Amino acid sequence: MATTPGGTEIVASWVSVPSWTSLRSLGSGTSCAETGEQERSQRAPDQKPSAQQLVGAILVVDDDPEIRDVVRWLLEDEGWTVETASDGRDALERATQVRPALIVLDMGLPILSGEEVAMRLRVYYREPPPIVVVSADGRAGEKAAQIGAAAYLHKPFDVDELARLVRRTLADP
């Protein structure tokens, strides 16, 4: 069970913690990040977001509403503006209306797959937004490389690792 910042309790089979503030891990997934880079950036809770955090919203795309909400809460807690989409078509519509700063993209989406969304964004934008793939697929790394993703995480994943990958990806020029 997790409690949102607004006090709503979320019950899910993949996470069971006493409160939102103690929610730090959705499992022990792996990522493409370097193993020696485990430290979390230390930003004081009252510190204003960096310039990179204020440029465009992060688009979180996942068909699982619980994962989508937890990722949204995490990124909002980190200081970013977040938009969400539950399927590939909605993601493409949102991403072409206003260019997101970054996309957290599940590959197994209804209507349009994550691969299809990424391919269409490459056609739409000369320089598409960076993508962080989050997928339960055993071939997540291969698929992330095929679409030119900046990074990937396997589900289940550690939310601190996701926050670190987002910060690192947005900091890269």
The domain containing residue 56 runs over which residues?
24-34+45-171
Average pLDDT over residues 97-107: 96
With respect to residue 167, please indicate whether it lies within any of the assigned structural domains: yes
**Cα separation of 89 and 15, whole Å?**
28
With respect to residue 149, please indicate whether it lies within any of the assigned structural domains: yes
With respect to residue 88, please indicate whether it lies within any of the assigned structural domains: yes
Contact 75, 111 (CB under 8 A): no
How many domains are there within the chain?
A: 1
- Pick the residue with more confidence: 115 or 53? 115
Q: How confident is the model at residue 173 (pLDDT cuts 50, 70, 90)?
A: low
Please tell me the predicted confidence (pLDDT) of residue 38: 31
Please tell me the predicted confidence (pLDDT) of residue 152: 95
**Cα separation of 150 and 76, whole Å?**
21
CATH of the domain at 54: 3.40.50.2300
What predicted TM-score, i.e. pTM, was given to this entire model? 0.70
Average pLDDT over residues 69-79: 96
With respect to residue 96, please indicate whether it lies within any of the assigned structural domains: yes
